[in-house]
Structure 1
Amino acid sequence: MVDKLTLSDDEWRKRLSPQEYEVLRRQGTERPGSGCFLGTKTPGTYVCAGCGNPLFKAGTKFESGTGWPSFTQPVAPDAVTEIQDVSHGMIRTEVRCARCDGHLGHVFPDGPPPTGLRYCMNSVSMKHVPEGQPLELVKT
């Protein structure tokens, strides 16, 4: 189980860039095709931009053609939480960081094997830690 990181809205505003704050704390989204991780294939781990929680291994990333980086599964079952999202006239499953509750994107049941899932994430909600470098959680 992941230790929770809970900060006030003011603390989040100080810690995050305006774009990170909009996505992670206000459930915003990047424009399709604009994210810095869309075409990357560098080995490593994608971590939450808000707290450093490991989220996805680069080896589970695939090109979905949707305009956002997509993954077949999180790094561990308890790395993310999933919540029903009924905004924008749709029923979707929102994906949040299990440690800081930051909005990452959505998961859809139309991905490739082995899971059949497509974790469609916002690049701004993540940072990439190259393979071989230590993963470090943000301290409170």
Structure 2
Amino acid sequence: MKQFIILIIGALVISCTGVAQQETKKQNKAYAVSKTNAEWKKILTSDQYYILRQAGTERPFSSPLNKLYASGTFHCAACNTPLYESKYKFDSGTGWPSFDRAVEGNIEKDVDHKLGYARTELLCNTCGGHLGHIFNDGPRETTGMRHCINGDALVFVPKKSKNE
């Protein structure tokens, strides 16, 4: 019985150390756009700050961007980096804007253990802002992936018409 308890305690210590090292790695990365928390709070709304800088999640079906299918590009709300083209957006039924792929090179993947298990977190590769998570239950006829993104992490930039 003692060996079993020692084994359990050892497993917990190792798993906690792994998560702590993961968090340290993310915090030490230098991004092209970097600001202090006070600077981010000045330029972002409280909801944007909660999501982008504190890895929060908005309520499902609360974002006006969820059902927006106009032609254009969705940019990072913190640094204006183009992240998703509207032609790759689809209705996942989850209540969050969903895309089957991102603009190449503008998204960073990391591991998130906040719910007690590993999920793939999506971050803006320019400022490190938390966007959402990626899942493998997207459209099978395309990539099969679902980028589940918080609407408050995005701003929509409509495509300019040929006359503009």
TM-score (norm 2): 0.77
Structure 1 residues 40-95: Cα deviation after superposition (integer angstroms, max 9, x where no partner): 1110000000000000000000000111010000021x110000111112321000
Specify the SS of the correspondent of 2:48. helix
Larger Rg: 2
Percent identity between matched residues is: 42
Q: Could you tell me how far apart the structure 1 residues matched to 2:52 and 2:102 are?
A: 17
Q: SS of the counterpart of 2:87?
A: helix
RMSD between aligned residues: 1.2
Q: SS of 2:121's equivalent?
A: strand
How far residue 36 of structure 1 moved from its aligned partner, in angstroms, is 1.3
Q: Separation in 2 of the partners of 1:119 and 1:90?
A: 18
Between structures 1 and 2, the one with greater strand share: 1
Choose which of 124, 129, 132 in structure 1 pairs with 2:157: 129
Letter in 1 for 2:35: L
Structure 1 counterpart of 2:86 = 58
4+ runs deviating over 4 angstroms: none
Does residue 1:98 correspond to 2:98, yes or no?
Answer: no
Structure possessing the higher relative contact order (Cα contacts under 8 Å, 6 or more residues apart): 1
1:138 aligned partner: none
Q: Partner of 1:108 in structure 2?
A: 135
- 1:23 maps to which residue? 51
| Alignment-mate amino acid for residue 69 of structure 2 | K
Gaps of 5+ in 2: 1-30
Residue type at the aligned position of 1:85: D
Indicate yes or no: 2:121 matched with 1:120. Answer: no
Say whether residues 1:83 and 2:117 are aligned partners.
no
Letter in 1 for 2:57: T
Q: How far, CA to CA, are the matches of 2:143 and 2:111 in structure 1?
A: 19
1:114 Cα deviation after fit = 1.5
Name the count of aligned residue pairs: 130
Aligned amino acid, residue 36 of structure 1: P
Aligned to 2:63: 35
Structure 1 gap segments, 5+ residues each: 134-140
Give, in whole Å, the separation in 2 of the partners of 1:6 and 1:53: 13
